[in-house]
Structure formats: structure tokens, C-alpha cells
């Protein structure tokens, strides 16, 4: 299948933007198929969409091995398929009553029954052998060049460069207007994030995968890597990207309302570019590092709080604070908790709650725990809710140290 050149046009999910428009032989053939289907089915919008139908071009040795294995087994199946159904159609044509065929009455033949038990078994052994080699290769997480811890949350990823001592969240950057069809969709609609994971090309990256609330699954098709993220347990896996570019995947385990909206984006850079990025990232982090004793102004808190709120809370409570009754997310406009004592609101945000009862991670409540956010982020978001959409709370400035005091 791969040799047919059909996947060379790229699928959009795959390597960087240049590949979005089908080019070359594969693309031309795909356009021909598109035209034919358009004529047959007369769908609107066909000229703009794509007919992605095969694996993304592999960008790691494992993905490449998986694709070769799939090809091998696919073609073995095709040959058996043709044999079995060739026979079936031969029978249907030749042994019909309407062509005057008389039924024989045999109903047993031990020899042939043994043959068609043993031969499939041997075919299976020939499939299992190469498959076993790939399984073992996928499990070899020894001697990595670097380690990254990936944590799934409802509904974002955290990437922790544990050798470097910093981490960041990676959240969908497609706007709500695009999702609700009020705005034209980007080329990478639903597959774009604010902070992609950045890794150097050619290095063996060990990935530790876990989750903070429910089960997620971290999947990068071009690397042949999919690992469920289990809350309370850490699993390890690895990849070695052998191409520079941007690679896109999605959460692959149903994790609630926004499951379809937590993409995985990995940028593979050359070693030099990666070093430059790493240095810049560390500098940036040092500049904004929380000084726990810093006293923020109300304007600073509200401005930063809006970003935190829109990135984390708006999925349920809505950007306008009006809530979503269908999933039990209350309106924050005029809400008792938001207008009441700050300490209680901090508790709810840190611990999560169900029907007014505080919960504790990792089981989580209907309102999940947000303890993974920094003190400054939580203080800002709470301050923002207390000063927005007409809310005027008595305690309207919450400092990071207030949050810190509530953490246990």
C-alpha cells in the first residue's frame, strides 16, 4: 500500500503544513477519486476537504516497522480473501440449481479438514514471528537520551522536561467560534495547541505517561506511539523522531466532554534549534517564575486570570461565566461561592467537588481538582471570576500566598 505512493501526498494530520495540499502522483490520483465521488454523490464542499485514507507517513523507526508489518499482514489477508471468495463465487455460478446442478451428498473428508486446520496455523506462525520482533523493539526503553513526563488532564496535556526542571501545559488553540461554525476553520482545525511538545531529532526520548484525573491516551500516529495515561500509575514508552517537522495526534481514550478537543502536537527540531529553544524557554520561565511573596495588583491578576480562565475553566463554565446546566456546571455570574468567602472558593478549585461536597484527587468530582495549576494561576483565575461579568465580590483580590496557605 505504501509503495503505491498514495500516502505521499500527506494527510494533513501528518508532517507540517506544506503537505496539506495533496501534491504529486498520490494527490493527483486522490483528486481524481474526489471528482468521481463528487459526481456520484454530489456532496457540498468536496473540493476543500480531503480523502485521507492511509497511515500518516512514519517519522520514527517504530512507526516504519509497524507500517511494514501491516503491509505484510494486509497482503496475506488479501490473498486468502481472494482465494476464499473466488471459490465462493465459483460455487455460486457453477453449482446453482438454476443451471441444473444436482446436489452431491458427501458431508465429511478428514484429510481436507486436517489440511485447512494446519495450513492457517502455519500462516499465523509466519505472521507472529515478525510481529514479536516489533513488540520487543517497542518495549526497549533502555538508554534514553532524554526523558519527558506526559500527564493527561481533562482536557489538556502537561509536558514535564524532568531533566531540565520545567514543565508547561498544552491546550487546544482552535477557537470556540470555529468549533461552533461562526468562523472559518484553520487548516489544522482541532489539531493545534498553544504550546507543542518540542524534541530534538534523532534522540531517543523516553516518555513517562500518567494522568491526573481520568484515563487518557497519548497518541502520535507518525511515531507509532500510543500509551494510555492511567491516573495513579506511570507507564513508560519511547520514540526516536527521525524527521524534522510538526506531528499531530489526539487523545485516544474517551475522557469526558472535551475528549475530542485535546490534541497532541509534537515539534521535532534540529539539535541546534532545540538547544536554542530550550535556552529561550528556560530564560522565559526564570523571568515569570512565581515569587510566592510577590504582591500582585488587581489589574495584573484580572489580566492573567482571564487567560487562565479561558484556557481551563471556560470549557464548562463558558467564557461568559454563564455555565452549562446540562453538565452541572453552574453559572458563575452571581454565584454564591464566587461572591462569598474567598477561602471556600480556593478549596473548591483546589479539591474539586460534586453537588457541593468537596472531593479529592485523583478520583475527582464533577468539578475536577485544579491543584496542578500554580498558586499564581489559581489566584488570578479566582480574582478574575470575582471581578467579571458584573460580579463584585467583597473579597475581590486573591494573592498567590492565599492559595498556598490552603494547599495541604
174-193 residues near other proteins, rule: CB under 8 A: 178-181, 185, 187-191
CB of 175 to other proteins, least distance (A): 12
- Residues in contact with other proteins, counted by CB under 8 A, come to a total of 117
CA atoms within 13 A on the CB side of 62: 24
336-355 residues near other proteins, rule: CB under 8 A: 354
- How many residues are listed for the chain in this entry? 408
CB of 387 to other proteins, least distance (A): 29
What CA dihedral angle connects 261, 262, 263 and 268, to 10 degrees?
A: 150
Dump the DSSP string for 9-44: G--SSSS-GGGSS--HHHHHHHHHHHHHHHHHH--T
Q: Which is nearer to other proteins, 130 or 202 (CB)?
A: 130
Residue 260 touches other proteins, criterion: CB under 8 A: yes
65-104 residues near other proteins, rule: CB under 8 A: 65-66, 69-70, 73-74, 77, 80-81, 84-85, 87-88, 91-92, 95-98, 101-104
Distance, CA of 96 to CA of 290 (rounded, Å): 82
Helix locations, 201-247, DSSP H: none
Question: Using CB under 8 A, which of the segments 193-201, 229-237, 238-246, 295-303 binds other proteins?
Answer: 229-237
Closest CA to 321 of 261, 381, 376, 365: 381
35-64 residues near other proteins, rule: CB under 8 A: 37, 41, 43, 45-46, 48-56, 62
10-39 residues near other proteins, rule: CB under 8 A: 11-13, 34, 37
- Residue 245, C-alpha cell as written in the block: 517537522
CB of 320 to other proteins, least distance (A): 16
Count the Cβ atoms, other than its own, within 10 Å of residue 21.
Answer: 12
| Core vs surface per residue 335-354: b (16+ CB within 10 A) or e | bebbbeebeebbbbbbbbbe
Q: Which is nearer to other proteins, 217 or 372 (CB)?
A: 217
CB of 78 to other proteins, least distance (A): 8
Q: How far apart, in Å, are the Cα atoms of 367 and each of 176, 297, 329, 348, 389?
A: 21, 28, 8, 8, 21
275-294 residues near other proteins, rule: CB under 8 A: none
Q: Which is nearer to other proteins, 65 or 312 (CB)?
A: 65
Residue 323 touches other proteins, criterion: CB under 8 A: no
Q: Which is nearer to other proteins, 202 or 260 (CB)?
A: 260
Q: Which is nearer to other proteins, 181 or 293 (CB)?
A: 181
CB of 341 to other proteins, least distance (A): 27
Residue 314 touches other proteins, criterion: CB under 8 A: no
Report the residue from 227, 246, 383, 387 that binds other proteins according to the rule CB under 8 A.
Answer: 227
Place of cell 475530542: 260
Q: Which is nearer to other proteins, 105 or 293 (CB)?
A: 105
Report the residue from 200, 221, 245, 330 that binds other proteins according to the rule CB under 8 A.
Answer: 221
Cis peptide, bond prior to residue 155, ω within 30 of zero: yes
Closest CA to 367 of 316, 403, 308: 316
SS3 354: strand
Residue 213 touches other proteins, criterion: CB under 8 A: yes
Residue 196 touches other proteins, criterion: CB under 8 A: no
101-160 residues near other proteins, rule: CB under 8 A: 101-109, 112-113, 116-117, 120-121, 124, 127-128, 131-132, 134-136, 138-139
Residue 248 near residue 191, CB atoms below 8 Å: yes
Amino acid at each position: 500500500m505504501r509503495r503505491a505512493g498514495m500516502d505521499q501526498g500527506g494527510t494533513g494530520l501528518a508532517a507540517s503544513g506544506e503537505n496539506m495540499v495533496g501534491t504529486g502522483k498520490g494527490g493527483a490520483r486522490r483528486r481524481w477519486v474526489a471528482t468521481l465521488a463528487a459526481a456520484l454523490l454530489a456532496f457540498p464542499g468536496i473540493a476543500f476537504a480531503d480523502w485521507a485514507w492511509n497511515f500518516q507517513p512514519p517519522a520514527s523507526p517504530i512507526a516504519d516497522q509497524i507500517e511494514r508489518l501491516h503491509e505484510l499482514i494486509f497482503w496475506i489477508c488479501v490473498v486468502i480473501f481472494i482465494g476464499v471468495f473466488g471459490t465462493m463465487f465459483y460455487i455460486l455460478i457453477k453449482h446453482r440449481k438454476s443451471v441444473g446442478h444436482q446436489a452431491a451428498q458427501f458431508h465429511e473428508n478428514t484429510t481436507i479438514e486436517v489440511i485447512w486446520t494446519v495450513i492457517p496455523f502455519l500462516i499465523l506462525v509466519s505472521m507472529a514471528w515478525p510481529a514479536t520482533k516489533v513488540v520487543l523493539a517497542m518495549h526497549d526503553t533502555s538508554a534514553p537520551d532524554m526523558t519527558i513526563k506526559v500527564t493527561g488532564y481533562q482536557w489538556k496535556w502537561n509536558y514535564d522536561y524532568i531533566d531540565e526542571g520545567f514543565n508547561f501545559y498544552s491546550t487546544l488553540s482552535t477557537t470556540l467560534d470555529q468549533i461552533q461554525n461562526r468562523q472559518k476553520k484553520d487548516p489544522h482545525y482541532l489539531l493545534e495547541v498553544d504550546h507543542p511538545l518540542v524534541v530534538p531529532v534523532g534522540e531517543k526520548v523516553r516518555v513517562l505517561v500518567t494522568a491526573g484525573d481520568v484515563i487518557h491516551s497519548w497518541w502520535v500516529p507518525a511515531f507509532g506511539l500510543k500509551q494510555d495515561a492511567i491516573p495513579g500509575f506511570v507507564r513508560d514508552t519511547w520514540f526516536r523522531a527521525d524527521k524534522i517537522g510538526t506531528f499531530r495526534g489526539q487523545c485516544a481514550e474517551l475522557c469526558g466532554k472535551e475528549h475530542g478537543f485535546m490534541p497532541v502536537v509534537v515539534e521535532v527540531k534540529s539539535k541546534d534549534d532545540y538547544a536554542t529553544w530550550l535556552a529561550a524557554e528556560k530564560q522565559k520561565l526564570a523571568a515569570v517564575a512565581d515569587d510566592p511573596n510577590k504582591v500582585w495588583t488587581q489589574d495584573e491578576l484580572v489580566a492573567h486570570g482571564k487567560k487562565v480562565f479561558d484556557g481551563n475553566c471556560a470549557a464548562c463554565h463558558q467564557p461568559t461565566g454563564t455555565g452549562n446546566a446540562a453538565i452541572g456546571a453552574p453559572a458563575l455570574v452571581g454565584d454564591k461561592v464566587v461572591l462569598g468567602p474567598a477561602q471556600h472558593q480556593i478549596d473548591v478549585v483546589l479539591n474539586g467537588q460534586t453537588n457541593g461536597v468537596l472531593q479529592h484527587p485523583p478520583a475527582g468530582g464533577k468539578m475536577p481538582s485544579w491543584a496542578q495549576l500554580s498558586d499564581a494561576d489559581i489566584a488570578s483565575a479566582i480574582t478574575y471570576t470575582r471581578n467579571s461579568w458584573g460580579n463584585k465580590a467583597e473579597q475581590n483580590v486573591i494573592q498567590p500566598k492565599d492559595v498556598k496557605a490552603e494547599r495541604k
